[in-house]
């Protein structure tokens, strides 16, 4: 009887997963990546550097000699993820309640911009472009700035109905952070505070802004359907 119940439970779980093919594709892609990494190491023979590469890919920022290393950087990345998650979930929810609204496009475009900036911040796209391809950091920052200004102009009426001062503060702090990064100021503590400290403060304001806006939009969309 218990085996029959467990089999039914397993079958139901599998059916639920099959209804979400994206999850299957995502899991399969990660497994394929792991298999490729395994083949890469195994075909290297006694080349220990290949094994070391795998260790580096999964290395933790924490070390016993530097227990506070990357704490504030990790906090910044959590705030990026928080803002992106709020926007992504909210736009999906609102689209199901009230599709084809300007607000939906506003939150969707916000999520796209946040995703691009988050990917750049985590995977150091700007730094890679500078080190390997000679693309100036200031140029990349100007490209991002232009996109954000275009986004602000297109959604200016919607933004005006929100606590836009938080957005202005966040944008101004990001500008300061980008300028400090591009100028390569002398010293260690002061440049770090001006670059990463201002970015962290900007992300705090950004996270609260999107949490507030998305919450109101979801409640508003739900109320109008009653």
| Nearest-angstrom CA–CA distance, 196 and 70 | 11
* Reduced DSSP (H G I as helix, E B as strand, rest coil) percent helix, strand, coil of the chain, to 5: 80, 0, 20
Q: What are the domain boundaries of the chain?
A: 2-57, 71-224
pLDDT tens, position by position, 161-219 = 999 999 999 999 998 888 887 777 676 677 778 888 899 999 999 999 999 999 999 88
pLDDT tens, position by position, 134-168 = 888 888 888 998 999 999 999 999 999 999 999 99
Of 148, 162, 157, 176, whose CA–CA distance to 208 is shortest? Answer: 162
């Amino acid at each position: 009887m218990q085996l029959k119940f467990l089999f039914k439970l397993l079958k139901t779980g599998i059916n639920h997963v099959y209804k979400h093919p994206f999850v299957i594709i995502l899991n399969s892609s990660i497994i394929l990546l792991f298999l490729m990494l395994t083949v890469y190491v195994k075909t290297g023979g006694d080349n220990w550097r290949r094994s070391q590469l795998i260790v580096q890919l999964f290395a933790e920022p924490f070390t016993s000699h530097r227990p506070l290393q990357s704490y504030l950087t990790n906090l910044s990345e959590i705030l990026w993820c928080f803002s992106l998650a709020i926007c992504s979930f909210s736009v999906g929810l609102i689209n199901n309640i009230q599709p084809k609204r300007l607000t939906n496009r506003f939150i969707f475009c916000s999520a796209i911009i946040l995703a691009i900036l988050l990917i750049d911040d985590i995977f150091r796209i700007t730094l890679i472009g500078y080190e390997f391809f000679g693309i100036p950091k200031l140029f990349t920052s100007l490209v991002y700035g232009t996109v954000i200004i275009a986004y602000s102009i297109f959604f200016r009426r919607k933004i005006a109905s929100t606590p836009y001062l938080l957005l202005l503060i966040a944008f101004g702090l990001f500008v300061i952070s980008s300028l400090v990064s591009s100028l390569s100021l002398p010293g260690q503590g002061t440049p770090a505070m001006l670059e990463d400290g201002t970015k962290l403060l900007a992300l705090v304001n950004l996270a609260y802004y999107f949490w507030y806006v998305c919450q109101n939009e979801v409640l508003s969309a739900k109320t109008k359907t009653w």
